[in-house]
Amino acid sequence: MIDLSTSYMGLKLKNPLVIGACNIVSDLNDIVKLEEAGAAAVVYKSLFEEQIQLEAHQMDQEMEAYEGWDSEHDSMFPTANHAGPRAHLLKLKKAKQTLCIPVIGSINCVNTDKWAEFAVAVADTGVDALELNFYANIIDADRTGEDIVKEQLDTLQAVKEVVKIPIAVKLSPYYTNTLSVVTRMGKAGADGFVLFNKLFQPDIEVAREEHHYPYNFSNPNEGRLALRYAGLLYDQIGASIISSSGVFTGSDIAKMTLAGADAVQVVSAIYKKGMSHIEHMLQELTSWMITKEYQTLNDFRGKLSRAKMGDPFAYKRAQYVDILMKSEIFMKYHPKDGEELH
């Protein structure tokens, strides 16, 4: 009997497939279907402070649009103030109360002093863990990388001080030294790391010469960065690792686990192939494990991590490609012409 169970930040998961934060994970009916489809946990759609602000602004504008029409229509609606994150929290609470699988909250704030407040509010809904979605589009050239890291560390510490549930950090892939940041965050109390966040990347439509905003789906190759860092971090930190990029198949889960991830987050695959794909992925993983005669994930977790591998080149800098091209070891891992990388 194959056992797919795993543990993520101390949460017992029946399998390693967690649905990452996205719009699907906001409608209760859909979330229930995800659970029924076999998801081991869900990360509820992020609570974006900015979205709350914009919603409040939009609400004011909508109301204002009905003011000053005529003598008797000085206004058309009673005065009302936006309730902030309460609508989100209410839905999140319902999701937690409805589901049997773990529910993880997620927050993203634009004001540094809001993180702790939002974290407490989310934790109060009863969720099992919280993800800090450190998503920021930095456009200020005067802020240094260290300023940003320091601010994130302060935020993490502030949240840890007020919240008891496990805290994961959803990381940007663009730190100068991701391992250093992870280590410092681990020391600051992070219970898990999500590898990685996808950043806002609008495209430009040349015909109309304007920005457009396509769905920012992962593609299968994007998993390599997460794969690499899972391998580097395995057994090096106390926190859990969850890979969130480029996981489309059961093989991808196997890969991430071989590198050392405790679990994976899936989003794009569900958007593209539907909820039934969850079962398919888990079936693939199981089949592969049967083929390989693994009984549990622990039988192969981290097998190809930096810590467990004797191979000194696997996790070295790819820029030395001209030297490595001649290496037999390199050739062992590089696909030959026409051969697909799986």
Partner 1 sequence: MSTSKKHINTDGNTAASNIAYAFSEVAAIYPITPSSDMGEKADAWAAAGKKNLFGQKVDVVQMQSEGGAAGAIHGALTAGAMSTTFTASQGLLLMLPNMYKIAGEMLPTVFHVSARSLACQALSIFGDHSDVMSARGTGFAELSSTNVQEAQDMAAIAHLATLESRIPFIHFFDGFRTSHSIQKIESISYDELKSMLDMKYVERFRSEAMKPEDPYCKVGAQNPDVYFQGRETVNQYYQACPDIVQKYMDMFKEKTGRGYDLFEYIGDPEAESIVIAMGSSISTIKETVDYMNRNGAKVGAINVRLYRPFSVEALKEVVPATVKRIAVLDRTKEPGAPGEPLYLDVVATLRSRPEIEIIGGRYGLSSKEFTPSMIKAVYEHLDAGGHHDFTVGINDDVTHRSIEVKEEIDSEQEDIVRCKFWGYGSDGTVSANKNAIKIIGESTDQFVQGYFQYDSNKSGGYTVSHLRFGKQPILSEYLLNKSDFIALHRPQYIGQYDILEGITEGGTFLINTGQKPERIFNLFTQEMQQTIRDKKLKVFAIDASKIAKSVGLGGRINSVMQTAFFKLSGVLPEKEAIELIKKYVEKQFLVKGKEIVEMNWNAIDASVEAIIEVPIPKANADEKYAQITAVVPEDAGDFAQLVMDPVLRLKGDRIPVSLMSINGTIPSGTKKLEKRGRPGNPAKWVEKLPFVEHCQVDETYFEYPGCCSGCGETPYIHLATQLYGDRMMIANATGCSSIYGGTFPSTPYTTDSKGRGPAWANSLFEDNAEYGFGMRLAIDANREQLKSNIEAYIEMEPKSKLAVALKDRLAEWKSVTPEAKDHADMIKELLKQYTSKAKGEAKPVLEKITELEDYLVDKSVWILGGDGWAYDIGFGGLDHVMASNRNINILVMDTEVYSNTGGQSSKATPRAAVAKFASNGKQMGKKNLGLMMTTYGNAYVASVNMGMDREQAALAIVEAEKHNGPSLVIAYSPCIAHGYSLQHAKKQSEKASKSGYWPSYRYNPALSAEGKDPFVWESPEQDMDFNQYVEEEIRYRTLMRSNPEEADRLMELAKEDNVRRFNDLRHLSSPTEQDAPKEEIQTKKAITDD
Strands 240-243 and 263-266: parallel
Which range binds partner 1 by CB under 8 A, 60-68, 101-109, 131-139, 283-291? 60-68
Taking CB under 8 A as the criterion, which residues in 34-53 touch partner 1?
50, 53
Minimum CB separation of residue 105 from partner 1 in Å reads: 16
Structure tokens at 49: 């402070």
Q: Give me the residue label for tokens 């549930």.
A: 165
Asked whether position 179 contacts partner 1 by CB under 8 A, the answer is no
- Residue 212 or residue 336: which is nearer to partner 1 going by CB? 212
CA distance 31 to 40: 12
- Residue 1 or residue 139: which is nearer to partner 1 going by CB? 139
Is residue 72 a contact partner of residue 42, using CB atoms and an 8 Å limit?
no
Asked whether position 199 contacts partner 1 by CB under 8 A, the answer is no
Residue 226's nearest CA partner among 257, 200, 187, 202 is 257
Minimum CB separation of residue 127 from partner 1 in Å reads: 17
- Residue 72 or residue 337: which is nearer to partner 1 going by CB? 72
Asked whether position 69 contacts partner 1 by CB under 8 A, the answer is yes
Asked whether position 319 contacts partner 1 by CB under 8 A, the answer is no
Among 12, 23, 67, 292, binds partner 1 (CB under 8 A): 67
- Residue 75 or residue 298: which is nearer to partner 1 going by CB? 75
Asked whether position 147 contacts partner 1 by CB under 8 A, the answer is no
Asked whether position 80 contacts partner 1 by CB under 8 A, the answer is yes
CA distance 327 to 324: 5
Asked whether position 57 contacts partner 1 by CB under 8 A, the answer is yes
Among 5, 10, 12, 90, binds partner 1 (CB under 8 A): 90
Which range binds partner 1 by CB under 8 A, 57-65, 114-122, 141-149, 206-214? 57-65
Q: How far is CA 224 from the centre of its chain?
A: 15
List CB contacts of 35: < 8 A, sequence separation 6 or more. 42, 99, 100, 101
Among 77, 174, 217, 333, binds partner 1 (CB under 8 A): 77
Taking CB under 8 A as the criterion, which residues in 104-123 touch partner 1?
110
Q: 3-class SS at 87?
A: helix
Is residue 269 a contact partner of residue 247, using CB atoms and an 8 Å limit?
yes
Asked whether position 81 contacts partner 1 by CB under 8 A, the answer is yes
Structure tokens at 296: 């549990």
Minimum CB separation of residue 11 from partner 1 in Å reads: 27
Asked whether position 323 contacts partner 1 by CB under 8 A, the answer is no
Is residue 2 a contact partner of residue 290, using CB atoms and an 8 Å limit?
yes
Minimum CB separation of residue 33 from partner 1 in Å reads: 15
CA distance 233 to 227: 10
Q: 3-class SS at 179?
A: helix
Residue 223's nearest CA partner among 20, 65, 3 is 20
Q: Give me the residue label for tokens 């696909």.
A: 335
Asked whether position 299 contacts partner 1 by CB under 8 A, the answer is no
Asked whether position 63 contacts partner 1 by CB under 8 A, the answer is yes
Q: What is the largest CA-CA distance in the chain?
A: 86
Give the footprint of partner 1 on this chain (CB under 8 A).
50, 53-57, 59-60, 62-83, 86-87, 90, 110
